[in-house]
């Protein structure tokens, strides 16, 4: 018995001593309950402390005080892994092969007045199963995502994604992009150059054979991303930014110098592939609390510059990165490279539009529905449309609903939009359509989304007319064309473009 007690005591002491401590560096809400205590940014907790999530969309980013690595924790991810503590989550997520779900979705900032529709996928891989952890990718992904949201992008974010998760997410993202004009993919993490191709390294990657890399797609080829985006005909601008090493190594890349390899061959149709470093060289990873890589630092410094064209943006980022890394402790300057194929001028922030109040409404990707999605007596066609001004009460309900959406409080958003719609608000119906077409909403229902879009469209809501047309596109093209034509008659540019594509077929 004495030995058993001693052993139990030893195990308890060992577990206590070995418990990792984390310091909260970012939090989506002011406070969170961890270990029975109310914590906020700056608070420290043990990885064995229970985390009590307030909402399904609550998130936090924390720094391991022992080794300096960053971890991203999300309520949805904890729930999917049936985890209560950081230790349990990291243990079960070590070799995660998620089906492609996103850790966070940031809708475009409603204050942004940029008119073209934009979507982005941001991936930050930092904590690897068989390779050293990186300091910058998670902070980079978090802040780059927020910057893109402020510039009119609907942003889908993934952290520490395995091969299956990355492959599936890229496929889903390309599907979402069919309703947008501009698509951007931003990756931060380990990378490598192999057989002349640049590869992104998932966190569950191990030292693999060339067969694994080429046939099983356990690494993600840049050309694969390029191919998916090239196949989306609705896009007018395609952008890929890769902050990763390009060392010529057919094992996992470390952040170290390699040899010069083949020339860039990845070409987007009407787009640009922007590498953080040239072929065969490293991309630096900074140390320090919530530090950013030189490339991410430069991107975030220049991307919101008013009226800066894509060409000038690339030049400014290249010069900035080279300047930042020209002195000690860097062994040599980091030199970004780009493969541009744009034949038109693109501006991330045309004339400072990202800083002005919004004049357009945020969109969430709609999904086509069956032609029978509306009930009898509620025809999906545009006949008999009516309109009236919104009351102050309706406007306030919609405003509150939008605030709830930005906070990912979908239940509150639904309540506000429903109340506005019940009072006859066209915008309330339209926002309900957006809510039901949002795949991150637990009540996602594309038929309900179509019904609400049609209701709003029949109240002469121009954007709802366009969305209703896109919902029926490929399902009931006659109805789709009728709604698109009505939206085009009201001056909707995307509707005009879609009708033009119809006439070309």
Closest CA to 255 of 348, 338, 190, 164: 190
- Lowest mean pLDDT: which of 48-62, 274-288, 306-320, 491-505? 491-505
Choice among 202-206, 252-256, 282-286 with the minimum mean pLDDT: 252-256
Angstrom distance (rounded) from CA 93 to CA 130: 14
Residue 326 per-residue DSSP state: S
Where is 90: in which H helix or E strand?
helix 86-93
Quick check: 372 pLDDT over 80?
no
Is residue 183 packed enough to be buried (19+ CB in 10 Å), middle (13-18) or exposed (0-12)? buried
What residue has token string 């191709």? 197
State the chain's maximal CA–CA distance in angstroms: 87
Q: Is the pLDDT of residue 201 over 80?
A: yes
Mean pLDDT score of the chain, rounded to an integer? 78
- Start-end of H helices in 94-162: 137-150
pLDDT of residue 384 exceeding 70, the answer is no
**What confidence score (pLDDT) does residue 93 get?**
55
* End-to-end C-alpha distance for the chain, whole angstroms: 84
CA within 13 Å, CB half, 273: 22
Burial string for 89-112 (b: 16+ CB within 10 Å, else e) reads bbeebeebebebbbbbbbbbbbeb
Residues with Cβ within 8 Å of residue 295, at least 6 apart in sequence: 243, 276, 277, 283, 317, 321, 334, 336
Is 405 exposed, middle or buried (CB count within 10 Å of its CB: 0-12, 13-18, 19+)?
buried
Query: Per-residue pLDDT for 239 more than 90?
Result: yes
Report the percentage of the chain scoring pLDDT > 90. Answer: 25
Strands (E) across 57-143 are located at: 59-64, 70-74, 104-106, 118-124
Query: How is residue 77 written in tokens?
Result: 């991810």
Per DSSP, what are the bridge partners of residue 191?
Answer: 200
What is the DSSP track for 273-335?
A: EEESS-TT-------STT---HHHHHHHHHTT-TT-BHHHHHHHHHHHHHHHTSSTT-SS---
Q: Name the least confident of 7-16, 172-181, 268-277, 496-505.
A: 7-16
DSSP summary character for residue 476:
-
The pLDDT value given to residue 62: 86
Closest CA to 310 of 349, 268, 260, 354: 349
Looking at residue 82, its pLDDT comes to 81
Per-residue model confidence (pLDDT) at position 329: 82
Measured CA to CA, the distance from residue 293 to residue 181 in angstroms comes to 29
* Pairing between β-strand 59-64 and β-strand 70-74 as defined by DSSP bridges: antiparallel
**Which of the residue ranges 39-43, 238-242, 268-272 has the most confident prediction, judged by mean pLDDT?**
238-242
Q: What is the pLDDT of residues 50-92, one digit of tens each?
A: 999 988 778 888 888 887 777 778 787 787 678 899 888 776 6
Q: Is it the case that residue 482 has pLDDT exceeding 80?
A: yes
Predicted pLDDT of residue 363? 31
- pLDDT tens, position by position, 336-361: 999 888 889 999 999 755 543 332 33
Instruction: Determine contact, residues 337/317, Cβ cutoff 8 Å.
Output: no
Whether pLDDT at 112 is above 90: no
Spatial separation of the C-alpha atoms in residues 200 and 203, rounded to whole Å? 10
Residue 445: count other Cβ atoms within 10 Å of its Cβ.
Answer: 16
Residue 401 and residue 191 in contact, taking contact as beta carbons nearer than 8 Å? no
pLDDT at 10: 44
**DSSP state for residue 496 in the 8-state scheme:** H
Phi, psi of 183 (to 5 degrees): -130, 140
Question: Which range in 49-58, 90-99, 440-449 is most confidently predicted, on average pLDDT?
Answer: 49-58
Beta strands in 189-257 (DSSP E): 191-194, 197-200, 220-221, 237-243
Residue 493, pLDDT > 90, answer no
Q: pLDDT tens across 125-134, in order?
A: 988 877 778 8
CA angle 350, 351, 353 (to 5 degrees): 70
Residue whose structure tokens are 């001593």: 17
Q: Is the pLDDT of residue 390 over 70?
A: yes
């Amino acid at each position: 018995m004495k030995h058993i007690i001693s052993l139990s005591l030893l195990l308890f002491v060992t577990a206590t001593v070995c418990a990792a401590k984390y310091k909260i560096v970012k939090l989506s809400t002011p406070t969170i309950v961890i270990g029975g205590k109310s914590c906020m940014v700056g608070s420290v907790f043990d990885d064995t402390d229970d985390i009590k999530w307030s909402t399904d969309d609550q998130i936090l980013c924390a720094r391991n005080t022992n080794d300096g690595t960053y971890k991203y924790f999300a309520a949805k991810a904890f729930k999917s892994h049936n985890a209560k503590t950081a230790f349990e989550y990291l243990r079960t997520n070590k070799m995660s092969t998620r089906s492609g779900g996103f850790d966070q979705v940031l809708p475009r900032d409603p204050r942004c007045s940029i008119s073209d529709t934009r979507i982005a996928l941001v991936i930050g891989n930092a904590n690897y199963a068989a390779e050293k952890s990186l300091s910058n990718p998670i902070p980079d992904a978090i802040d780059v995502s927020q910057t893109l949201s402020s510039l009119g992008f609907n942003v889908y974010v993934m952290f520490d994604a395995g091969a299956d998760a990355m492959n599936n997410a890229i496929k889903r993202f390309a599907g979402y992009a069919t309703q947008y004009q501009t698509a951007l993919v931003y990756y931060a993490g380990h990378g490598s150059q192999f057989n002349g191709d640049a590869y992104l390294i998932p966190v569950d990657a191990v030292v693999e054979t060339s067969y694994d890399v080429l046939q099983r797609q356990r690494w993600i080829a840049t050309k694969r991303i390029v191919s998916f985006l090239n196949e989306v005909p609705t896009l007018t601008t395609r952008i890929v930014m890769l902050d990763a090493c390009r060392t010529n190594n057919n094992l996992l890349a470390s952040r170290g110098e390699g040899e010069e390899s083949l020339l860039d061959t990845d070409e987007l149709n009407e787009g640009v592939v922007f590498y953080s470093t040239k072929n065969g060289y490293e991309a630096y990873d900074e140390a320090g609390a919530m530090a950013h890589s030189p490339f991410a630092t430069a991107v975030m410094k220049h991307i919101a510059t008013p009226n800066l064209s894509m060409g000038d943006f690339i030049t400014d980022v290249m010069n900035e990165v080279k300047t930042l890394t020209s002195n000690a402790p860097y062994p040599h300057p980091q030199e970004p490279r780009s493969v541009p194929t744009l034949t038109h001028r693109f501006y991330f922030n045309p004339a400072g539009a990202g800083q002005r109040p919004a004049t357009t409404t945020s969109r969430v990707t709609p999904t086509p529905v069956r032609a029978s999605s509306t009930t009898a007596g509620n025809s999906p066609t545009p006949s008999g449309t009516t309109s009236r001004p919104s009351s102050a009460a309706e406007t306030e309900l919609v405003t509150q609903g939008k605030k709830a959406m930005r906070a990912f409080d979908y239940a509150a958003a639904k309540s506000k939009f429903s109340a506005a719609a019940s009072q006859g608000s066209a915008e309330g119906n339209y926002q309900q359509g957006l809510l039901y077409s949002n795949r991150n909403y637990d009540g996602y229902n594309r038929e309900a989304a179509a019904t609400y879009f049609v209701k709003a469209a029949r109240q002469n809501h121009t954007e709802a007319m366009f969305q209703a047309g896109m919902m029926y596109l490929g399902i009931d093209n006659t109805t789709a064309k009728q709604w698109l034509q009505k939206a085009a008659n009201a001056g909707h540019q995307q509707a005009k473009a879609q009708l033009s594509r119809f006439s070309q077929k």
